[in-house]
């Protein structure tokens, strides 16, 4: 979907997605839903959260700690 089409449908899509607000425990997570869905509909070659956030110039925080941070170790370690 090209940018012109996405801009045209964005208000209606946002209204539709607000039906699912109560599915999110945190408002910060809910705020990223519109961005993520618009990214999935876009012409981006890669559809992961990082390329979408880069294309939208909007940081999308990741809730899990970085790999190798040592914060979460297996119980048998």
The stretch 36-64 carries a mean pLDDT of 80
pTM: 0.64
Give the Cα separation of 51 and 38 in Å (integer). 12
From 21, 40, 38, select the one nearest 30 (Cα to Cα). Answer: 21
| pLDDT at 24 (0 to 100) | 86
| pLDDT at 28 (0 to 100) | 77
Give the Cα separation of 39 and 51 in Å (integer). 9
Q: How confident is the model at residue 65 (pLDDT cuts 50, 70, 90)?
A: very low
Query: What is the SS3 assignment for 40?
Result: helix
Residue 58, token pair as written in the block? 């909007």
CB atoms within 10 A of CB 22: 8
């Amino acid at each position: 979907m090209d940018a012109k089409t996405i801009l045209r449908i964005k208000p209606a899509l946002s209204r539709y997605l607000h039906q699912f607000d109560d599915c999110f425990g945190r408002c910060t997570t809910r705020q990223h839903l519109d961005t993520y869905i618009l990214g999935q509909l876009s012409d981006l070659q890669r559809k992961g959260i990082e390329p979408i956030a880069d294309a939208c110039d909007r940081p999308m925080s990741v809730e899990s700690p970085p790999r190798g941070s040592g914060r979460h170790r297996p119980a048998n370690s």
